Amino acid sequence: MSKSKDKRIRKFKKKRIWPSILGLFIVSICFMVIMLAVVAFLVSDVVKNKIVAGIHDTEEVSHFFEKIESFEELAEIEETLLFYIDIETDVESIAVIEDDKVVWSSDDRYPSRTSESEFMITDDIRVFIEDDPENNFIIEDNTLNVSKDFINSIEIKEILGTEEMIIPNGTALAHLKVWFEVPTEVGNVYVLKDLKVYQEDLFTLIICTVLIAVIIATFMIYYLISFIGLFFDMHKNSKIIYTDMLTGGENRLFFEKKGNSLIRKAGRRGKKYAVIHLKMRKYRSYCTCFGVKEGEALIEKCYALLKKQISRKELMVHRENAQFGLLLAYENREQLVTRVEKIESVLNTISPNIKLYFGVGIYLTQIGDKDIEQLYNNALLACDMLGEEAENKIAFFDVEMNNQRIWERKVEDDMNRALKNKEFQVYLQPKIKTSEEVLAGAEALVRWIHPQEGFIPPNKFIPIFEKNGFITKLDDYMLEEVASLQEQWIKQGNKIVPISVNISRAHFTRSDLAAHICSIVDKYEVPHNVIELELTESAFFDDKKQLLDTINQLRELGFSVSMDDFGAGYSSLNSLKEMHIDVLKIDADFFRGADVEERGMLIVSEVIELAKKLDMKIVAEGIESREQVDFLTEQECDLIQGYFFSKPMPVAEFVEKYKDFR
Ligand code: C2E
Ligand code: CA
Ligand code: CA
């Protein structure tokens, strides 16, 4: 998966719904606050209007009292006063207080007092009308201080609207009783007023509140709908993102998400899990034979069968091609292997005519493991180590594999530079003529002289190059080096022997291989018979026709062709019959091990005899002892290559050692 795609998916997976919920919550609070503020403003406006109306009445009352100079006078005109006040104003009660003493009260009601100095107003608000407070309308300690100027400046209609509204019909919705206070000649006059709140007073308030409530409700409904939409979208998207398009089941991303949580919990509960990479072998060939549709149907069937093998606390997903990722709980290795084998045999019930082969890599989780993708890679690596040929094999990951992987990466990073810098060097191992024990040929074997790692033997990098295809470049390079050496020696007038180079099976994918080899060698203008080409026996199992054609072309061009490592793999004497090759190299394995020696020798003598009949030269490889040499002399084996005579050595050393031969 590309980095950007991976990033996008990760970003999507991180997307959470809670920011939307939080957003909704914050916006709701804001709306509520706005609504409360508007309502509070409107309420305070109503109250203010009521108070101003109260003040106005109090002012009226105070006019009557302003004309009174003494209590005696007050007592005299009390009845008339009350009559006029009743006509002119709408107050409940009047009290006159001087020096903290109630001196007169219209109906025995007056503000009570809590201490010597302060009145506790019976109702919460006390309105004090002064001649000249600092401001027109200020509230201090529950007291509203109002200036007379302010009162005079207010038109009653301005405050209460129409006449009808001054004395509205109907019952009051709320009562607000307030004592108003006016200083007069006779003392402070207190007026109790019931500031009734009528439905009409609340008209604007109700309209505004309803309007705001409607706006808020509309917004909330809109937001809620989009929120629900988002929720369903996310649900749908997460379903898509975690679904495998081929099987319709869960995919790699789900494996990662659920797997990580399962292995984390397993660590805490002491449960053991194995991360498994299961790969069907030769899936491509299956698709080539039966078509892609059939191939996909096969994967679907495998998926369905595998699903039945998995318990609730386990995982199985289809990854890509014919690969499945599994997370299985297990008790011990044996039980796990038995289970995996059973799974393989269940998968083999899909088609009775076709045997399916699987490669299985297993990583056993450890305490502290967190990243299932990393663990899956380990399982994959273990499976890769099995190689392509293995049938139904199971490999457990170990640390060595990881080291190998690191090494492989290093080799791959360095190989191109190494080729450019000529870090690969030709070593020559002599082939000795058995009868006379003189030099009769040599094999060119590569060595890597790495600037940091030093001397690296071919088995540490050739298999990697064979896997990644770089081997063809290396072989071309070796061929060129050998051709150049031969040219140099010919020009120097030295006696030369044929030198063989190894041609990996990877070359046989190209149909113009013979021409290609020819073009490299011909750059140095050396006769073709001084170069021998060693083909490994395994190459003989690939495309036979192509191989036979190439061998014939090479031989026609004058190159000598040898079959390397004969007898090492699945030898086929048959292939000898079909292929016209010049040299047969008997593998060193025939000469190893004490108890097989006798049987081995018997086979060697038979092979030598057969090869002779087929007109081939015989080279025995890996010869380390005099007894082996004597035996081969007896069998009339042509050439011997082995440590008994010499190890592969640098070119200069080879020249030095065999200078007498020249
Ligand atoms: P090979 O082609 O079978 O080469 C013979 C190997 O046997 C060489 O190993 C050689 O050092 C070793 N050998 C020879 N005599 C004896 C002996 O008496 N005892 C023992 N124990 N070993 C002996 P080397 O050089 O390590 O090469 C290993 C393999 O790497 C070669 O096996 C060949 O398959 C591959 N290789 C080496 N160079 C090249 C190359 O340039 N191209 C390709 N494609 N493969 C190469
Ligand atoms: Ca060889
Ligand atoms: Ca060999």
Q: What is the pLDDT of residues 200-246, one digit of tens each?
A: 778 888 888 888 889 888 888 888 888 888 888 888 887 888 999 99
Average pLDDT over residues 621-649: 95
Q: What is the pLDDT of residues 598-617, one digit of tens each?
A: 777 888 898 899 899 999 99
What was the pLDDT predicted at 156?
41
Give percent of the chain with pLDDT exceeding 70. Answer: 85
Q: How far apart are CA 367 and CA 263, in angstroms?
A: 9
Which pTM does this prediction carry? Answer: 0.61
Q: How many residues does the chain have?
A: 662
pLDDT of 574 higher than 60:
yes
Distance of CA 591 from the midpoint of ligand 3 (Å): 13
Nearest ligand to residue 640 Cα: 1
pLDDT at 420: 97
> Helix (H, G, I), strand (E, B), or coil: what is residue 263?
helix
Sheet strands side by side (includes 393-396): 315-318, 323-329, 273-280, 358-364, 393-396
Query: How many angstroms separate the CA atoms of 160 and 97, rounded?
Result: 30
Residue nearest to ligand 1 atom 19, measured at CA: 622
**What is the distance between the alpha carbons of residues 454 and 451, in angstroms, rounded to a whole number?**
6
Residue 418 binned pLDDT confidence (cut-offs 50, 70, 90): very high
Low-confidence winner among 122-136, 256-270, 629-643 (lowest mean pLDDT): 122-136
Q: At residue 397, does pLDDT exceed 80?
A: yes
**SS3 category, 574:** helix
502 close to ligand 1 (CB < 6 Angstrom): yes
What percent of the chain clears pLDDT 90, i.e. is strictly above it? 45
Which residue is listed with tokens 């005519």?
353
Q: Give the pLDDT band (50/70/90) at residue 195.
A: confident
Query: How far apart (Å, rounded) are the C-alpha atoms in residues 131 and 216?
Result: 46
**What number is the average pLDDT over the span 314-337?**
95
461 DSSP assignment = T
pLDDT of residue 161: 38
564 lines ligand 1 (CB under 6 A): yes
- Residue 142: is it exposed, middle or buried by C-beta count within 10 angstroms (0-12/13-18/19+)? exposed
| Whether pLDDT at 315 is above 90 | yes
Residue 629 Cβ contacting ligand 1 at under 6 Å: no
List pLDDT tens digits, range 246-256.
999 999 999 99
Q: What is the mean predicted confidence (pLDDT) over 440-459?
A: 97
Ligand 1 pocket, residue 504 CB under 6 Å:
yes
What is the overall mean pLDDT for the chain?
84
Closest Cα to atom 3 of ligand 1: 565
Q: How far is the CA of 486 from the centre of ligand 2 (A)?
A: 18
Res. 289: pLDDT tops 80? yes
Residue 563 one-letter amino acid: M
Pocket test for ligand 1, best of 445, 472, 533 (most atoms within 8 A of CB): 445
Note the ligand closest to the C-alpha atom of 567.
3
State the distance from the centre of ligand 3 to the C-alpha of 585, rounded, in angstroms. 7
253 lines ligand 1 (CB under 6 A): no
- What does the pLDDT read at residue 92? 82
Q: What is the token pair recorded at 118?
A: 């302060």
Residue 383 alpha carbon to ligand 1 centre in Å: 27
Q: Which atom of ligand 1 is nearest to the CA of 465?
A: 44
Query: pLDDT (tens digit, 9 = 90+) per residue, 155-188?
Result: 444 443 333 334 445 677 777 777 777 777 777 7
Mutation to probe ligand 1, out of 502, 507, 592 (largest number of atoms < 8 A from CB): 502
Q: Residue 377: what residue type?
A: N
Q: Is 187 in the pocket of ligand 1 (CB under 6 A)?
A: no
Which residue from 436, 556, 562 is spatially nearest to 498, judged by alpha carbons? 562
pLDDT at 355 over 70: yes
Tell me the two tokens of residue 111.
Answer: 């503000």
Give the number of other Cβ atoms within 10 Å of residue 181's Cβ: 25
DSSP 116-177: SS-B--SSS-EEEEES--SSSEEEETTEEEEEHHHHHH--HHHHH-SHHHHS-SS--SB--E
In 3D, which of 307, 391, 399, 407 has the Cα closest to residue 356? 391
CA 194 to each of CA 82, 119, 140, 476: distance values in angstroms, whole numbers, following the listed order: 17, 19, 21, 113
Asked whether residue 307 carries a pLDDT value surpassing 80, the answer given is: yes
More confident residue, 375 or 91: 375
Nearest residue CA, atom 7 of ligand 1?
A: 622
Ligand 1 pocket test, pick from 419, 462, 466, 507 with the greatest ligand atom count within 8 Å of Cβ, gives 462
Radius of gyration of the CA atoms of the chain, in A: 53
Q: Is the CB of 482 under 6 A from ligand 1?
A: no
More confident residue, 21 or 653: 653
- What contacts 24+ positions apart, CB below 8 Å, involve 407-414? 407/460, 408/464, 411/460, 411/461, 411/464, 411/465, 412/464, 412/468, 412/470, 414/450
Name which of 68-77, 483-492, 535-544 the model is least confident about: 535-544
Half-sphere exposure of 511 (CA within 13 A, CB side): 1
Q: For residue 197, give the DSSP letter.
A: B
